[in-house]
Structures are given as structure tokens and as C-alpha cells.
């Protein structure tokens, strides 16, 4: 089940860049005592990654600068780290002879980079630059380590290797800022502009980035410097999707819960949480005391570049706040579930295009629950060239058998993911005998049903949250959409058949328990009725 809005490339950029930079600084610390002086602030090119990924967060810049402890990289993070290095190394192999500065102590690396440039080395791998400058009256040392410097006739092209497929302002502003800063560092260190700045993307394309002389990067560094220099942490609202892939998740979430922060209320978005804090409404109790539905609906907060009223969301926000304060649920309406003897629980595991030419579903999971249940019915994509197609037609075959044996069943899923990918696969491989179209016509999004019928004292309507609320317990200690992808990547890469089967067995167990969890929530929800007065 892949519900997270944070893309895996976001996680990769944060984990891989952070790990690499930190290791290099540790190597250089022993030889660079001067950098420990309290009057010098260090800015590094990966500060942009810290700010933007896995989601835009000013608090993360402050905490990381202060050296606050972060969670260890997950199995998923570690797989992405390895794939990122592999992607970079594969590109390096295409560039011919090169000067290798990887693993060299930082202070030596800076000097050797300039020597290699003076000698016009054809390719310099893992160069390093350090430039002192003044930003907003503060002396800073700015450090950057691009992946490659490539000599091209009369100058050097700076190139950085990224797993991301979409290298543009909308998808990855942090990448543009990072390579722009590399260009500025090169220009200051060498006295000449780079011939070009480029990104080697996840599609193996070389993307040229316009160089503005470092103006955009330095402007953003000014903001990041201000965050690092804050005397104490400032308010930053938490969010279920926003904080999901961050190493400070547990720290910030625990603090928000201890303070009954309004940001924990479902339907309170980031801008509204900030607007409420600005007027001194910081807790759920304060929200319920200060506002009613009418007054909250009129409150304005910044959305994009404009002020917008809270509007119709106000009623649900106050209902959630009340439920969380009282720690009790509120049934709004009879859940809209048609009474049938049997239902299919339906859940997919997918691999996004950062790691595959296709936006691929590698497991189509189904199981009938009710009066006439079935065993778990997984359709798994093969590992060969046609594996994706094989998985799709296996799913169609399983669905056809269910229709033949049961008639028109409801296919119960959580959130729009399943419908989205049915549409994509119909376009990709076709719909034999209209089976997939029939499945689509019988979909029931249990998330929509839940949100329309109940208000719960929980901060999110994620299935993982709701299943725990209703009492479902999993057998696996490690699980989740990202974990599943990590296991599938491992299974794809291994040539050990026994190891592959073991990994796939864990994935199948996870998907099977997703279906059981959906059924548990379904049964719990179906029994709910509003209280009569």
C-alpha cells in the first residue's frame, strides 16, 4: 500500500546527501580545528535538502544545525542510499579517466581540487570547495561537494548525479539551488564562471541548469542562516504526511502531543495552524474556547499568496478537536455500506517511477471476507522483462474468478490509490473482457465512508492509525509501504532464489495483513450507528 505523499526520491535526497556530507565533515574535523570556532557559521550545499526534503520544514534546519539526535536510517533509506551511490558510480564509469578525490580528508580535498583544475584534469570525481563570505553581516564558510567536474574545451562543467526524474523548479527546487551554489563556489574559488551546471537525472539524462551567478542560492542561504542563528526553536506545525519521512518525526510529534497542539487536528492545515498560533490559539482547548463554527469559518489564513477563509472545514475541525479533547468518537451518520454477504478487500503495493521505467504495481492483493471467505489471493509481478504485464493479467484472472464465483462483489480499498492504478493499467495493457472496468464499478473507498460517518480522537485517517484504534494487531515488527518497496528492491537485485523467496514472503505477509486490517476497520465501521436522543 503506497499512500504516502512524500515521494521516495524526497527521502533519498535527504538520507543520502545528509549521510555523505556528515561523513566528509567528520573526516575533515581533525585537521580543521578552525571550523569549530563559534564565530564562524558553516553553510553546506545540502542545507537546501535539509530545508525542502522530505517536506519543506524550517524546524529541521534549526534542529540539525544544533546537532539534535535523529532517527537512524530505515531499511528503506539504506536501500535508497545504496541505489543512489550505484546510480552515481554507473555514470562515473561512462566518463573515462578521472581524478578520484572521494575518501580524501576534507582540507586535502579542497587543495587537490584546485590543483586538478589547474592541471585541467579531464574529470574530477568528488571535488570540494570552501569559500568564506559575509551574509547579512555574518561571516560564513560555505562548502559544496559536487559529484563531477568535467573539462569541456575551455572550461569546466559542474555535474551532480540525482535519482530524481523531474529536475525542475516545481518538483525539486532544492536541486536547482544546490547546483547553483556549486557554480558560485567554483566561480569564487577559481576566478571564472563554470562553463555549465548540470544534473545527471534518474532517467540518465543530462539536464542543463541555467546559472544565475548564485543569486538564488545565496538568497535562500540567507534565510537558512537566519534559521540556524535563532536563539531558540520557533513554532513549526507538525503534519502526518509532512513529517512522515523526517528523522525528527518522533521528537516533534511527541512535543506536539504533549502540548495538545492544534496542528494535530485533522483538517487543520499548516497555514491554519500557524495562523492560530499567531493569535495565541495554540491548543485544542483554546480553539474550542475561542471559536465556534461561525467565527472559525470566517478566520483567514494564507493559502499560496492569498488570504482565504477556513469556510466549511470549520465544523469538522471543531468536531475533531472536541473528540480529541474528550477522547471519544462521534458518529455522524450511518456508514454508507451496502449490505452484502461477502466483500473483497483490495490493496496494492507499488514502485514509483524513481526506480523503474514504469510506475509499477508489483503486488495486487485481494481476499474475500464474509459468509464465504477465500484464502489470500496475491498477483505478483514477475522479475523478467514482462513481469509487470504478467502481474496485471494475473490480477485480471483472479478478479474474473471472483466475479464468476460470487457475482458483483464490492472491492473495498483505502484511499484513491487503487482506482488510480486501475485506470493506468487499463491504458497500459488493456482490459480483457472488461474485468478491470467491472472492478472499478464495484470499488468502495472505505476512507471516504469513514470520513463521512465518524469523527475519531486521532490525528490522521491513515489506515495504520485507524486499524490500531479499532484494535487490529499485526504480527510483523517491521512493515509499511516504504518497507515493502525496500524488500522488493532487495528481491529484484538478489540472485539467491532462497533469499528472494524469503523477501517476497515477507511482502506477501504484509499485504495480507493490510487486507485483514481493512476488513477489521470495515466490520467496526459497519456496526456504527449515530446515538439517538
Mean pLDDT within 224-240: 96
Using CA atoms of 379, 384, 389, 395 in order, give the dihedral in degrees to the nearest 10: -10
Question: pLDDT over 90 for what percent of the chain?
Answer: 79
pLDDT of residue 320: 97
Measured between alpha carbons, how far is 467 from 463 in angstroms, rounded to an integer?
6
Q: pLDDT at residue 36 above 70?
A: no
- Split at pLDDT 50, 70, 90, the class of 5 is very low
Give the residue among 444, 483, 478, 447 at the shortest CA–CA distance from 465. Answer: 447
Measured between alpha carbons, how far is 415 from 71 in angstroms, rounded to an integer?
28
Q: Considering the chain, tell me which residue range(s) the CATH 1.10.150 domain(s) occupy.
A: 259-328
Q: Considering the chain, tell me which residue range(s) the CATH 3.30.420.10 domain(s) occupy.
A: 342-526
Q: pLDDT at residue 89 above 50?
A: yes
Mean pLDDT within 244-256: 94
pLDDT of residue 3: 43
pLDDT of residue 355: 55
Residues with Cβ within 8 Å of residue 425, at least 6 apart in sequence: 361, 392, 436
* Least confident span in 17-21, 165-169, 522-526: 17-21
Mean pLDDT within 122-129: 98
pLDDT of residue 167: 92
**Between these two residues, 532 and 173, which has the higher pLDDT value?**
173
Q: Do residues 50 and 172 lie in contact, with contact meaning Cβ atoms separated by under 8 Å?
A: no
Mean pLDDT within 174-185: 98
Q: pLDDT at residue 30 above 90?
A: no
Using CA atoms of 390, 394, 395, 399 in order, give the dihedral in degrees to the nearest 10: 150
* Sequence-ordered alpha helix ranges (H) in 414-453: 417-429, 435-441, 446-453
- Split at pLDDT 50, 70, 90, the class of 39 is low
Q: What are phi and psi of 444, to 5 degrees?
A: -130, 110
Bridge partners (DSSP) of residue 306 are: 303
Could you tell me whether strands 342-351 and 410-413 are parallel, antiparallel, or unpaired per DSSP bridges?
Answer: parallel
CA atoms within 13 A on the CB side of 487: 24
Instruction: Pull the grid cell for residue 468.
Output: 490500531
Instruction: Pull the grid cell for residue 448.
Output: 471516504
Measured between alpha carbons, how far is 395 from 204 in angstroms, rounded to an integer?
32
Q: pLDDT at residue 173 above 80?
A: yes
Q: pLDDT at residue 184 above 70?
A: yes
Q: Considering the chain, tell me which residue range(s) the CATH 3.90.320 domain(s) occupy.
A: 8-228
pLDDT per residue as tens digits for the range 426-448: 999 999 899 999 999 999 999 99
* C-alpha pair distances (Å), 192 with each of 128, 129, 184: 16, 14, 10
- Split at pLDDT 50, 70, 90, the class of 80 is confident
Mean pLDDT within 54-67: 95
Find the helix or strand (DSSP H, E) in which 124 lies. strand 123-125
Measured between alpha carbons, how far is 504 from 314 in angstroms, rounded to an integer?
45
pTM of the model: 0.84
Domain range 259-328, CATH class: mainly alpha
Q: Do residues 147 and 161 lie in contact, with contact meaning Cβ atoms separated by under 8 Å?
A: yes
> Which CATH number among 3.40.50, 2.60.40, 3.90.320, 1.10.287 corresponds to the domain 8-228?
3.90.320
Mean pLDDT within 491-506: 91
Residues counted in the chain: 533
DSSP state of 482: H
Average of per-residue pLDDT values in the chain: 90
Q: pLDDT at residue 227 above 50?
A: yes
Cβ-count burial of 325 within 10 angstroms (0-12 exposed, 13-18 middle, 19+ buried)? Answer: middle
Q: What's domain 342-526's architecture?
A: 2-Layer Sandwich (3.30)
Amino acid at each position: 500500500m503506497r499512500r504516502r505523499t512524500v515521494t521516495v526520491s524526497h527521502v533519498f535526497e535527504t538520507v543520502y546527501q545528509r549521510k555523505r556530507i556528515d561523513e566528509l565533515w567528520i573526516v575533515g574535523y581533525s585537521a580543521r580545528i578552525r571550523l569549530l570556532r563559534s564565530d564562524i557559521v558553516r553553510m553546506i550545499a545540502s542545507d537546501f535538502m535539509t530545508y525542502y526534503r522530505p517536506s519543506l520544514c524550517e524546524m529541521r534546519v534549526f534542529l540539525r544545525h544544533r546537532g539534535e539526535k535523529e532517527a537512524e536510517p530505515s531499511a528503506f533509506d539504506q536501500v535508497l542510499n545504496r541505489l543512489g551511490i550505484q546510480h552515481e558510480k554507473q555514470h562515473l564509469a561512462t566518463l573515462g579517466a578521472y581524478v578520484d578525490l572521494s575518501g580524501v580528508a576534507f582540507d586535502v580535498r579542497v587543495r587537490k581540487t584546485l590543483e586538478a583544475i589547474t592541471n585541467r584534469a579531464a574529470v574530477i570525481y568528488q571535488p570540494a570547495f570552501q569559500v568564506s563570505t559575509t551574509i547579512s553581516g555574518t561571516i560564513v564558510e560555505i562548502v559544496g561537494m559536487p559529484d563531477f567536474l568535467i573539462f569541456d574545451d575551455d572550461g569546466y562543467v559542474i555535474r551532480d548525479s540525482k535519482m530524481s526524474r523531474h529536475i525542475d523548479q516545481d518538483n525539486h527546487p532544492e536541486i536547482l539551488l544546490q547546483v547553483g551554489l556549486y557554480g558560485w563556489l567554483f566561480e569564487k574559488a577559481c576566478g571564472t564562471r563554470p562553463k555549465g551546471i548540470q544534473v545527471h537525472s534518474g532517467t540518465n539524462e543530462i539536464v542543463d541548469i541555467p546559472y544565475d551567478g548564485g543569486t538564488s542560492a545565496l538568497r535562500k542561504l540567507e534565510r537558512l542562516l537566519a534559521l540556524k542563528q535563532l536563539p531558540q526553536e520557533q513554532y513549526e506545525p507538525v503534519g502526518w504526511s509532512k513529517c512522515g519521512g523526517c528523522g525528527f518525526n518522533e521528537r516533534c510529534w511527541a512535543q506536539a502531543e504533549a502540548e495538545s497542539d492544534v496542528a494535530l487536528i485533522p483538517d487543520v492545515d499548516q497555514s491554519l495552524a500557524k495562523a492560530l498560533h499567531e493569535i495565541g490559539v495554540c491548543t485544542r482547548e483554546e480553539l474550542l474556547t475561542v471559536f465556534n463554527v461561525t467565527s472559525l469559518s470566517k478566520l483567514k489564513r494564507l493559502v499560496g499568496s492569498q488570504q482565504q477563509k477556513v469556510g466549511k472545514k470549520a465544523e469538522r475541525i471543531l468536531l475533531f478537536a472536541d473528540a480529541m479533547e474528550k477522547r471519544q468518537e462521534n458518529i455522524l451518520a450511518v456508514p454508507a455500506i451496502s449490505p452484502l454477504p461477502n466483500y473483497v478487500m483490495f490493496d496494492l503495493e507499488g514502485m514509483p517511477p524513481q526506480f523503474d521505467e514504469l510506475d509499477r504495481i508489483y503486488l495486487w492483493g485481494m481476499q474475500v471476507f464474509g459468509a464465504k471467505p477465500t484464502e489470500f489471493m496475491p498477483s505478483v509481478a514477475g522479475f523478467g522483462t514482462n513481469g509487470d504485464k504478467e502481474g496485471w493479467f494475473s490480477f485480471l484472472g483472479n478478479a474474473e474468478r471472483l466475479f464468476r464465483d460470487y457475482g458483483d462483489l464490492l472491492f473495498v480499498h483505502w484511499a484513491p490509490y487503487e482506482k488510480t492504478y486501475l485506470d493506468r493499467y487499463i491504458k497500459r495493457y488493456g482490459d480483457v473482457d472488461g474485468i478491470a472496468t467491472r472492478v472499478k464499478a464495484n470499488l468502495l473507498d472505505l476512507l471516504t465512508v469513514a470520513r463521512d460517518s465518524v469523527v475519531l480522537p486521532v490525528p490522521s485517517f491513515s489506515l495504520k492509525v485507524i486499524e490500531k484504534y479499532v484494535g487490529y494487531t499485526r504480527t510483523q515488527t517491521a512493515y509499511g509501504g516504504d518497507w515493502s518497496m525496500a524488500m522488493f528492491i532487495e528481491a529484484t537485485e538478489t540472485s539467491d532464489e532462497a533469499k528472494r523467496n524469503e523477501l517476497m514472503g515477507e511482502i506477501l505477509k504484509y499485504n495480507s495483513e493490510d487486507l485483514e486490517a481493512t476488513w477489521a476497520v470495515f466490520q467496526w465501521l459497519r456496526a456504527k450507528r449515530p446515538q439517538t436522543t
